Amino acid sequence: MGPSWRKKVVDEHVIPKTLLGEPPPNPADRWSVNLNVHPDCESDHKHHRDHLMKLLQSHTHVPADDWNKADATRFIREFKPEAHKASNGKSLPALRGSLDCVYAAALWTRGMHAALYGRVLPSSVKFVGQTPVPMWQEGKGSPEAYSDMRRRVLGYVCRALDADQFDELRAWGGAVIYQCTWIKRPAARGWLCAWVLEFPGTHTWAMDVTDTDTPWHGCFEVDDLPEGASVCGN
């Protein structure tokens, strides 16, 4: 916040406009979560991943005939569709390169955290994030691990919702919803934040693939509890 700091930042959407869908009818509801960011950070870390997220979430349930050539070419180049052999010997469709897309949701979660608590998470914070559909990194996960993580994170958040011990940010007329709760784990040094994130297309993608309504979800850990954060047990 030094002299002329406003000239060094740009007002950016945390979630890009391309994923927000039609604007709410009431202009007062059209806030889409904006933050001041450094343009180099936007260019180097976020813009590319935003576009990958658009391709993966918005297009994977769209008929092939509806793809434009530019997006189809980019999808093939970035994600490299192939088959993956699961532990039970069955062949599963796989997409290499999808971790960059998954990290977009982590970046947006960082933005939601900053908007909620007025604090920027340190760059050293490690995120664990999962898509609305089963996805894991080859050699570092499995369908069982995905399901266990999903059960734990959504279990924390559902318990927090029942106890009214959660923090929430709603935007774009309720089309964007970020909810989180904080847990003190006895065996851990810091505080665990379990979070869920929904935005246009999330519900459709989850239901089309698994017939189960699952948001983007995950967790991260910090040393200190943000001021005013809601705590849900340990």
Report pLDDT digits (tens) over 38-49: 898 888 889 999
Q: What Å distances lie between residue 61 and 42, 52, 58, 201, CA to CA?
A: 28, 15, 7, 10
Q: Say how far apart CA 79 and CA 86 lie, in whole Å.
A: 19
Q: What are phi and psi of 179, to 5 degrees?
A: -130, 145
Q: Phi/psi of residue 101, each to 5°? A: -70, -45
Structure pTM? 0.90
Task: Write out the two tokens for 8.
Answer: 């060094």
Q: Report the alpha-carbon distance of residue 82 to residue 96 in Å, rounded.
A: 8
Give the whole-angstrom CA distance, residue 218 versus residue 113.
13
Positive or negative CA dihedral for 33, 39, 41, 43? positive
Residue 206 banded pLDDT, cuts 50, 70, 90: very high
Return the residue matching tokens 């934040």.
193
Summarised one tens digit per residue, pLDDT across range 151-197 is 999 999 999 999 999 999 999 999 999 999 999 977 777 899 999 99
pLDDT at residue number 212: 93
Tokens of 31: 């806030």
d(CA 79, CA 101): 9
